[in-house]
Structure 1
Amino acid sequence: MVNSSQSKRIFYFDALRAVAILFVVLLHVTGHLGEMMNYNVSTIYSFSGLFETFGNNFFKIGVDLFFMLSGALLLGRDWDIRGFLSKRIPRIAKPFVFWSLVFSVMLFVVSYVIPSLNLVDQHGIYGFLKVFWDTLMFKAPGSAVYWFFWTMLGVYLAMPILNKWIKHSELSELEYFLVIWIVSTLFDYTLMVECPVKLSYFTSPFGLVVLGYYLRYTERKVFNNALIALALIIVPAIVMFVYSCSVVDTNILFTFHRYAILPIIEVIGVFCLFKTSKYLNNPNDFIKRFVSSIAMCSYGMYLIHSQLIMVFRKVLHVSFNFTIDYLILFFVGFILSWFIIYILSKIPYVNEFVGVK
């Protein structure tokens, strides 16, 4: 089986990681603006409503890309269970606990200064511990995105089992797994009906992890052609947008599940496009350094962007128009979160807690 023990940094992986965090931020900015606009059937066909419909589907693949990159980078390599877990789990756990504590303190402080925001139920030591626990359990305001840590932890715990299997499998055997996984996503997340054959152990995110490894190494022409990859992005995007608009009268702002078949096709297209496009893989040095910096800061950015957007939105009451509000919240969620992680990554001892990879 293919051995990917090479340590040399591959730019298209950095580019995909940067795109992943970009899409995550755009999705959450879109969600925040959707809450502020309070759409209904009569306003959904406005520019902002149509953009909400498009963005809530198209940008949903950010987390999927993170799962795929984990498989592409970590599977098929020579490592032992103890060494893998002792290295990987602290790298995601320490920043998670650190930022959970930071934002618990921030919520507490803001609740004292502006009690009307109702960010904290009660004060005192017990109240703080409750906020901290709720943040860890992604229940506190702004912390809903922290589900990703627990899912990623589960992926890492299962990775040694997946790696053992993949190291002794051919790519054609991975295709067998992926076909069954696709069937499970069709039933569970696309048609939304229970599959008569129980395939829950094939469902995402493990399918995405295996898919990332498979797409990295497969030589099938369909997955190594930039034009086909572009079509795999555009066609699902159009279909999701048209379908979502067509059901407005029964389901406001309908969005597809991230594990539905159309987002899966889209994320395959994005992965393959960056893998095969010579143009995307040969930017100038400035762009390459910036993209690599975003990639290295992406986990920390993920952990702080949602809370920054939430506090900025509620404390400063951003309300101009859709376009200006979107740009402001994007700046806070993407540029500001990158800047914070980047600066903190330069501080000794602190850098290991902020989420730099």
Structure 2
Amino acid sequence: MNQSKRIFYFDALRAVAILCVVLLHVTGHLGEIMNYNVSTIYSPSGAFEIFANNFFRIGIALFLMLSGALLLGREWEVKNFLSKRIIRISKPFIFWSVIFTLMLVISSYFISSINFVTQFGFFDIFKVFIDTLLCKAPGSAVYWFFWMMLGMYILMPILNKWINGTDFSKIEYFLIIWAVYIFAVYSLMLPVPEIISFFISPIGFVVLGYYLRHTERRIFNNPAVAGILIILPAAIMFAYSYSVVNSDILFVFHRYSILVMIEAVGVFCLFKSAKSINNLPGSFTNAISSIAVCSYGMYLIHSQIIMVVRKVLHLSFNFTLDYIILFIAGFIVSWIIIYILAKIPFLNDFIGVK
């Protein structure tokens, strides 16, 4: 994409989205390393674990909202749209799945302390590759994101047809019904078949992104209101998580819960309406845009890098140092890898840059 045609606050939101995803996964790894219990959960690091495990859940919501903001409400031919979008996310997904299958096999074969793979026949290795695609191999659980986005792209022509033929009042009606649905499913915990929830929940975020980009309602174009929409749900999630420590030590809200949705709305609206964010110095905007361009590739590789670093270094120094090490591994190193590989033209389609 031509840099001059990029909308900066979209780039900034994409950079924040991948940052939140990495920080959430780093927090998860540290939670396992620290092995929290009822006594340690009240420590400063325990408090941060509870905060981060909820606050950083907006990453996936922001990615979905950006897809809706960028792709809905436009005129495009369905066949061209599907072929372009599906190929764009599939090539990096398959490429990195092959790379990390080889990494799991080779590291397990040559490093005795690493046992990701225990059998090294052809069919054993092929099974590791299939397990990676299906999110079952070590470090590949995050690949569910590909399958979810694949479903969203397949459904998007239907959404786009509806968006182009309706008015904002009907979109608002849809979003109200959807908000009630996610409140019922993820707050009241009403039973819904998982396959239904897998599609309905993210669809609402896609439509929400389109709506927030184009709405002229002042409540969604006010930085002060946006700040409240960020701080209030974050505080509620933090307080509630602490209130249930005795029954569920590290309670976390679902990525599609109503409070996470409100927080994501606040972040989206803040970046859209705050002039200071949209008038940063050139060095900052260049770095943010670079992260945005590399974000999909970073998503596909960060979890495995964190996993390997944790396995090799046997991290157990202290919470702060371990967190910094895993953040550098998951965010900085993955950004550098994708950034460098993007300099090789024929690799652009395979590494996840856009």
Instruction: Specify if TM > 0.5.
Output: yes
Q: Which amino acid aligns with 1:323?
A: T
Contact 1:104 1:132 in 2 (8 A): yes
Q: Which runs of structure 2 are paired with 1:189-204 in the superposition (5 Å)?
A: 189-194=186-191, 203-204=200-201
Q: Which runs of structure 2 are paired with 1:45-124 in the superposition (5 Å)?
A: 45-124=42-121
SS at match of 2:249: coil
Q: Calculate percent identity across the aligned residue pairs.
A: 67
Instruction: Give the Å deviation of 1:348.
Output: 2.0
Is 1:299 matched up with 2:307?
no
What residue ranges of structure 2 are gaps of 5+ in the alignment? none
TM-score normalised to structure 1 length = 0.95
The match for 1:165 is: 162
Q: Which amino acid aligns with 2:344?
A: I
The match for 2:266 is: 269
Is 1:229 matched up with 2:226?
yes
SS at match of 1:318: coil
SS at match of 2:238: helix
After superposition, the C-alpha distances for 1:303-341 in whole angstroms (9 at most, x for unaligned) are 000000000110121221100110110001001000000
- Structure 1 CA distance for aligned equivalents of residues 198 and 34 of structure 2: 39
Is 1:21 matched up with 2:18?
yes
The match for 1:209 is: 206
What residue ranges of structure 1 are gaps of 5+ in the alignment? 1-6
- Structure 1 CA distance for aligned equivalents of residues 164 and 22 of structure 2: 35
The match for 2:34 is: 37
- Structure 2 CA distance for aligned equivalents of residues 240 and 232 of structure 1: 13
- Structure 2 CA distance for aligned equivalents of residues 37 and 113 of structure 1: 28
Return closer, same or farther for 1:201/1:65 CA change in 2, 3 Å cut-off.
Answer: closer
- Structure 2 CA distance for aligned equivalents of residues 220 and 202 of structure 1: 28
Instruction: Give the Å deviation of 1:9.
Output: 1.2
Return closer, same or farther for 1:324/1:183 CA change in 2, 3 Å cut-off.
Answer: same
After superposition, the C-alpha distances for 1:243-264 in whole angstroms (9 at most, x for unaligned) are 0001000001000011111101
Q: Which amino acid aligns with 1:309?
A: I
Instruction: Give the Å deviation of 1:118.
Output: 2.4
Q: Which runs of 4+ in 1 moved over 4 A?
A: 199-202
- Residue from 344, 348, 352 that aligns with 1:351: 348
Q: Report the more deviating stretch, 137-146 or 311-320.
A: 311-320
TM-score normalised to structure 2 length = 0.96
- Structure 2 CA distance for aligned equivalents of residues 183 and 81 of structure 1: 31
- Structure 2 CA distance for aligned equivalents of residues 280 and 318 of structure 1: 36
- Structure 1 CA distance for aligned equivalents of residues 219 and 211 of structure 2: 13
- Structure 2 CA distance for aligned equivalents of residues 215 and 302 of structure 1: 24
Aligned length: 348
Is 1:333 matched up with 2:333?
no
- Structure 2 CA distance for aligned equivalents of residues 45 and 282 of structure 1: 40
**Structure ranking higher in helix proportion:** 2
The match for 1:320 is: 317
After superposition, the C-alpha distances for 1:204-258 in whole angstroms (9 at most, x for unaligned) are 1000000000000001111010000000000000010000001000001000011
Q: Which runs of structure 2 are paired with 1:178-189 in the superposition (5 Å)?
A: 178-189=175-186
- Structure 2 CA distance for aligned equivalents of residues 298 and 222 of structure 1: 30
